[in-house]
Structure 1
Amino acid sequence: MTASSNSFPIPFAPQSTQDTDLLQQIGFLPGVKELLSLRQVHALEHATVRVMEEMATIPLAAERVESITGLSTEQGFYLYGATDVAELRRAVPEALRRLVGGDWDIAVHPRCGTNLSVSMLLTLGLGSGLGWFLPKDPLGQALGFGVGAIAASSLAPDLGSLTQRHITTAIPFNLTVDTITAERDSWGRTTHFVRVHWVDVERVG
């Protein structure tokens, strides 16, 4: 599998020891390791869902996978929805293998909440900004927010993907999968939890 950094306009060339090196430099700060782990888990969550989407070869299965939602923590990630545990156990190691092997695009998912957050911020920012240059009456302000919303809807997918790629996810070079278990959350919903642990990567040479 070849690296896919050219799919994005901003250079992206992650190194296997980057988070280990960063942890050695600033690991004394509270929460640094948890944040680094969370970004890597987030990427693995996205990649797992994308692999499951590829595995869904019939419409009914594809519809089921599209209904799955996820939640990442520094210790692993939850998948909510009609998840087939056998399918999940095949998808997780495959997703990790592909990510570490250079298939970095699967760390980004179009249904991630990051995209929604980016869209909302863009709409608010562009709408408010345009409002400064338009009449202050209700019609002028409504026009500003309308134009801002249209512009945001056009820009959000690409900016959301860039935000995922460079901020909210990281290639999981340091993660090893421990267990995949079925659980129930505090609302009684069935969920599957993929537990991981952190392993430092040694620099070669």
Structure 2
Amino acid sequence: MTTSPTSSNAPSFWEDWGLDLSPQPGGDSDFLAQFGYLPGLKELLTLRQVHALEHATVWVLSEAVRGTSEEGTEADLLSGMSTEQGFYLYGQVKTLQLQRAVQTALQRITTGAWSLAVHPRCGTNLSVGMLLTAGLTMGFHLLLPRGPITQLLGLGLATTAAAQLAPDVGALAQRYITTAIPFNLVVESITPLPAQSGRPTHFVRVRWVN
């Protein structure tokens, strides 16, 4: 990984428009208290917080091993998958090292380092890129003349525009839709699992607390 999290003190997209959408420690708890009768709501809120903790943990691990080019390559190969019970972490990392990283990540992200919730290699960015490409392609198809050359030109423009927009739009989608600051999570256990596709695997189990 070659980039580091941006400062949590930087103004957000919404602050530029005069809106304050800063994370609030009791936000999800209050929302759950009011609408807890909705099926699957707690699982959804938990998943968003787990997703943020997964990203923060990968950031912390990457910072810890960013010493040599070889170690940097190992950091780039770290990946994860979130569930409502916790998250899987795939890559070369020792259990004790992961335990320290998870606790550090949880402490930092809940005390102001909110940018740790957003990661450039998140699958959200890929999904956003695909949606942008499809939407822009359809738009150019409808707006441009039906000739093959103009349609090919439109396809090229749509693909280029989507590639340029996807990182920023994907980051916004992560920040405000697919992740939430894990104010309600505590780590219960970290368990080594059999390797998946030749990659060491751990499962970080969490629990929701109000």
> TM-score by structure 2 length?
0.89
Q: Distance in 1 between matches of 2:91 and 2:49?
A: 22
After TM superposition, where is structure 1 displaced by more than 3 Å over at least 4 residues in a row?
185-190
Paired residues for 1:88-167 under 5 Å: 88-167=98-177
Q: How many residues align?
A: 198
AA aligned to 2:34 is Q
Q: Aligned residue for 2:51?
A: 42
Question: What is the CA deviation profile of residues 130-172 of structure 1, one whole-angstrom value per residue up to 9, with x for unaligned ones?
Answer: 1112121332222111101111111111100000000000000
Secondary structure of the corresponding residue to residue 6 of structure 1: coil
Q: Aligned residue for 1:22?
A: 31
Report % sequence identity. 54
Q: Distance in 1 between matches of 2:92 and 2:10?
A: 34
- Quickly say closer, same or farther: Cα 1:20–1:83, change in 2 above 3 A: same
Residue 52 of structure 1: CA displacement?
0.6
- Quickly say closer, same or farther: Cα 1:5–1:18, change in 2 above 3 A: farther
Q: Aligned residue for 2:94?
A: 84
Which stretches in structure 1 are left out of the alignment for 5+ residues? Answer: 201-205
Which stretches in structure 2 are left out of the alignment for 5+ residues? Answer: 1-6, 16-20
Q: Distance in 2 between matches of 1:96 and 1:177?
A: 9
Q: Distance in 1 between matches of 2:193 and 2:107?
A: 25
Residue 113 of structure 1: CA displacement?
0.4
- Quickly say closer, same or farther: Cα 1:157–1:175, change in 2 above 3 A: same
> TM-score by structure 1 length?
0.91
Question: What is the CA deviation profile of residues 14-56 of structure 1, one whole-angstrom value per residue up to 9, with x for unaligned ones?
Answer: 1100000000011111100000000000000000000111101
Q: Distance in 1 between matches of 2:11 and 2:132?
A: 23
Q: Could you say what the CA RMSD is over the residues aligned between the two structures, in angstroms?
A: 1.7
Q: Aligned residue for 1:9?
A: 13
Q: Aligned residue for 1:203?
A: none
